[in-house]
Copies of this chain bind each other. A is one copy, B any other.
Amino acid sequence: MATMTAEQRRAEAKAEFDAYMETCPTSRLMAVLGNKWTTTLLNRLADHGTMRHAELARSVPGISAKMLTQSLRALERDGLVTRHVTAAVPVQVDYTLTVLGETLIPIVATVRAWADRHMPDVEAARGRYDGARAGEAVPSPRDR
């Protein structure tokens, strides 16, 4: 059908892209860690060990119930956390890092260390870039 053309085009493009991305584990990992709450959740679990749903919710300000569940599901699917249900009057669900998940913690810690040290520089660069583009003087104190 003629209506297939556009969709087909997109399918091809996606296939082409995936063919490349398939060979790039780094990108695939970043797609996981790049999600808004992933690193935060991993860090909380690393710090507190096993945690309940509500406990995590309290521990991570701003996260919605939906995103909490969704993010944890994704991590479970990726084999990074386990989900344990305890049948009780109020159901109790515990989340824990898997051994695989634990191996990821030092990596996140490394990233965190760089972020703590250098993100201010990045923010400053953004300010300079945006300020300069906004027509404001402030050309460039120190770049490169």
Instruction: List residues of A whose CB falls within 8 A of some B CB.
Output: 16-17, 20-21, 24-36, 38-40, 43, 61-62, 76-80, 82, 98-100, 103-104, 107-108, 110-112, 114-116, 118-122, 124-126, 128-130, 143-144
Of the candidates B82, B104, B130, the one whose C-beta lies within 8 Å of that of A114 is B104
- A39 near B30 with CB under 8 A, answer yes
Main secondary structure of the interface of A (DSSP, over half): helix
- A118 near B98 with CB under 8 A, answer no
- B121 near A100 with CB under 8 A, answer yes
- B107 near A103 with CB under 8 A, answer no
CA distance A38 to B25 in the complex (A): 14
Of the candidates B34, B36, B110, B129, the one whose C-beta lies within 8 Å of that of A33 is B34
- A17 near B77 with CB under 8 A, answer no
CA distance A97 to B110 in the complex (A): 20
CA distance A107 to B118 in the complex (A): 12
Of the candidates B30, B78, B104, the one whose C-beta lies within 8 Å of that of A34 is B30
